Structure 1
Amino acid sequence: MVPKTVHDDLQLKYSQLHTECDNLREDINKLKTENEQLKEMLGTAQFSFASLKCKAAQVLFFTGLTSALFNWVLQTVKGSVEVIRGSLTLEDHLLAVLMKLRLGLTNKDIAFRFNVNECDISKILRSWLPIMSQILKPLIKWPSKHAILKNMPKCFKPKYQRCRCIIDCTEIFINRPTNLTARAQTYSNYKSHNTVKYLVGMSPAGAITFLSAGWGGRVSDKQLTAESGFYDLLQVNDEILADRGFTIRDELALRGATLRIPHFTKGKKQLSAQEVETSRRLSNVRIHIERIIGRWKTFRILTTVIPLSQVDLLDDIVIVCAALTNICKCIVPRK
């Protein structure tokens, strides 16, 4: 038989070991919980759409869209696009594209944020932008006369009720081409830089309704308007508002349309009081085309200097930015 003292000692040691075992199990469970929490924190610390989606202000800053509009764009394009980089979700692909457009970041910067290769970002942009352009282009729609009249803002009604469109040209900087012909064709005397020029049309209600293909910055406003296909959209009694650079009165008259531009002082010492008042009223409504172009260019890629390697994507870029501008809040007050 085991002596009682030995038995008691063994019993005490067993009890102590059992307690230590329970404590170790509790410590292990705590460590597992902490490990899961750290993994979750690490996941949210990595830059991704998952780390942004609950922060509406951050989504708006990085994409220029509200969370609801971001999800709408994703649902609209997701059936036509593909995952280029497996470590990124479909949401991350769209986020990368919109960050490129909204913030004008370099591919290297975006790649660093997502912890991928720079070539992966380039592949995503080259795959997604043409598809997004094709799918979203119907948002840039030439409205019927009935739609124009139905949505005519109050500020247009007294004097410009027949206004169909306000037009203006805008230029986007590009790097200087190495080809001498391309360099000459894209050099803009107005900007003193190589540019690509676009004709932009806006409805009185504040939507971009026309966007030409890109032309070399050397082209005149008159030639660009003639070559863009804009005249084919016009109907009799349409009224087009523009600035003084658009010397297209005769071309519009051939289609039964009217040009309204501010009065010139050329050949006069000064404008009459009536001409000054007419020009002032016209400027008050024509200013909206400059505001819509300003809103369009909040997608900062349009204010950067586009590398020659990305100029072939520029038409797709401007279409996507214009379409996204149209689904954001209107800049023209209805009343």
Structure 2
Amino acid sequence: MIDMMYVSLVNRFPSYDHLMAFWFLIEPCIYKMIRVSRAKSAANRNEEVLTPARTSTRQLLQPIDEFFLFLVFLSVGLKERDLAHRFNIHQSTVSRIIATWTNFLATALGSQCIWLTREEVQAYLPEEFKDFSDTQMILDCTELRCQTPSSPLLQSEMYSSYKSHCTMKALVGIAPHGPVTFISNLYAGSVSDKELFKQSGIAEKLTEDMAVMVDKGFLITDCCKCKVYCPPFLSKQKQMPAYQVKETQAIARLRVHVERVIRRIKQNKLFDSVITMSHVYNINQMFAVACMLSNYQNTALVKKWVK
């Protein structure tokens, strides 16, 4: 088995204990997942389905090593050929392991409801949000650079003028105390923040007694029933009144936490580089897994600010 102390160096878990706690959480479901995976593979080859004993003897990597391989792929961004060499297995086996673990973690973590009710958010509301106590979540969009498609139509749809590159765009929401509570699908990079907000379905979850905090330019006031905390525009004024300056600073100090969460998610080197077309088919699941894993890998972000 791979040295677990080495594992903690290449994944985003803060310590060995955090990693093992997560492993023991998902372990009961893993062997069932492997059994189903082997059964499908055998059926596709018209082979006899292996018994659990025979499966374990023929398996090249133990489940915890497969999990390690997936974490290395996600967090370090190594190529499949490199992983095949490091783990002494065939490149096609690496592809299968990555696909299997992506589907498994997307299903296992996705089965847990990450959306928090208003009462749950209020129960954990940090003191720093006392002036914005009805805040349900902080929203922001992020973009992942991807390989330029050959189709001119797709190029125009995926080209982001903000990044000057073809991208895929997602909406991420966090609760005031730090955890990710909403993840949208990935959309073409040319979509606006407002249109992405409408298509993501988040507006249906927000009620009139809730509020969301967004960046300046995130013009969603007419798209949702809830209150929107957004830094005010200068408009035609030569100078902002003092109360608007204080409001802008207060919102900026709190809204920055969603950027910190997204930065942590994108520390996974897979998303830091250009996404190749070979991974586009399951990049939605991979991004969702990375977002949900961050809830297990990180502690609360909000700390007291120096006044």
Identify if the C-alpha distance between structure 1 residues 76 and 179 changes in structure 2 by more than 3 Å, giving closer, same or farther.
farther
1:197 matched to 2:169? The reply is: yes
Partner of 1:125: 98
* Aligned counterparts, 1:1-335, within 5 A: 50-53=1-4, 55=5, 58-65=6-13, 66=16, 67-72=19-24, 74-82=26-34, 86-139=59-112, 141-157=114-130, 159-252=131-224, 255=225, 257-333=226-302
SS of residue matched to 1:61: helix
Q: Distance in 1 between matches of 2:292 and 2:61?
A: 25
**CA-CA distance at 1:60 after TM superposition:** 1.6
SS of residue matched to 1:194: strand
**CA-CA distance at 1:308 after TM superposition:** 0.4
SS of residue matched to 1:306: coil
Higher alpha-carbon deviation: 77-86 or 97-106: 77-86
Q: 1:149-192 CA distances to partner (integer Å, 9 max, x unpaired)?
A: 100011111x1100011000000111001122221111100000
**CA-CA distance at 1:73 after TM superposition:** 5.1
Could you tell me which runs of 5 or more consecutive residues in structure 1 were left unpaired when the two chains were aligned: 1-49
Q: Which amino acid aligns with 1:72?
A: F
Q: 1:233-259 CA distances to partner (integer Å, 9 max, x unpaired)?
A: 01112111001121111222xx2x111
Identify if the C-alpha distance between structure 1 residues 141 and 169 changes in structure 2 by more than 3 Å, giving closer, same or farther.
same
Q: Which amino acid aligns with 2:76?
A: L
Identify if the C-alpha distance between structure 1 residues 295 and 76 changes in structure 2 by more than 3 Å, giving closer, same or farther.
farther
Q: Is the 8 A contact 1:80 1:131 kept in 2?
A: no
Q: Distance in 2 between matches of 1:175 and 1:69?
A: 36
Identify if the C-alpha distance between structure 1 residues 325 and 140 changes in structure 2 by more than 3 Å, giving closer, same or farther.
farther
Q: 1:269-313 CA distances to partner (integer Å, 9 max, x unpaired)?
A: 221111111100010110111111112122221211111010111
Identify if the C-alpha distance between structure 1 residues 278 and 301 changes in structure 2 by more than 3 Å, giving closer, same or farther.
same
Identify if the C-alpha distance between structure 1 residues 291 and 139 changes in structure 2 by more than 3 Å, giving closer, same or farther.
farther
Q: Distance in 1 between matches of 2:216 and 2:32?
A: 43
How much identity, in percent, do the aligned residues show?
28
**CA-CA distance at 1:68 after TM superposition:** 1.6
Q: Distance in 2 between matches of 1:88 and 1:81?
A: 15
Q: Which amino acid aligns with 1:261?
A: C
Identify if the C-alpha distance between structure 1 residues 76 and 181 changes in structure 2 by more than 3 Å, giving closer, same or farther.
farther
Could you tell me which runs of 5 or more consecutive residues in structure 2 were left unpaired when the two chains were aligned: 39-57
Q: 1:104-123 CA distances to partner (integer Å, 9 max, x unpaired)?
A: 11111111110112121111
**CA-CA distance at 1:80 after TM superposition:** 4.1
**Higher gyration radius (CA):** 1
Q: Distance in 2 between matches of 1:319 and 1:237?
A: 28
SS of residue matched to 2:261: helix
Q: Distance in 1 between matches of 2:289 and 2:179?
A: 14
Q: Distance in 1 between matches of 2:33 and 2:203?
A: 34
SS of residue matched to 1:81: helix
**CA-CA distance at 1:135 after TM superposition:** 1.0
Q: 1:119-145 CA distances to partner (integer Å, 9 max, x unpaired)?
A: 211111122212210111245611111
Higher alpha-carbon deviation: 60-69 or 97-106: 60-69
Q: Structure 1 length as normaliser, TM-score?
A: 0.79
Q: Structure 2 length as normaliser, TM-score?
A: 0.86
Q: 1:73-124 CA distances to partner (integer Å, 9 max, x unpaired)?
A: 5415404422778221111111111111111111111111101121211111
Partner of 2:55: none
Identify if the C-alpha distance between structure 1 residues 229 and 278 changes in structure 2 by more than 3 Å, giving closer, same or farther.
same
Q: Distance in 1 between matches of 2:106 and 2:261?
A: 19
Identify if the C-alpha distance between structure 1 residues 80 and 228 changes in structure 2 by more than 3 Å, giving closer, same or farther.
farther
Identify if the C-alpha distance between structure 1 residues 293 and 282 changes in structure 2 by more than 3 Å, giving closer, same or farther.
same
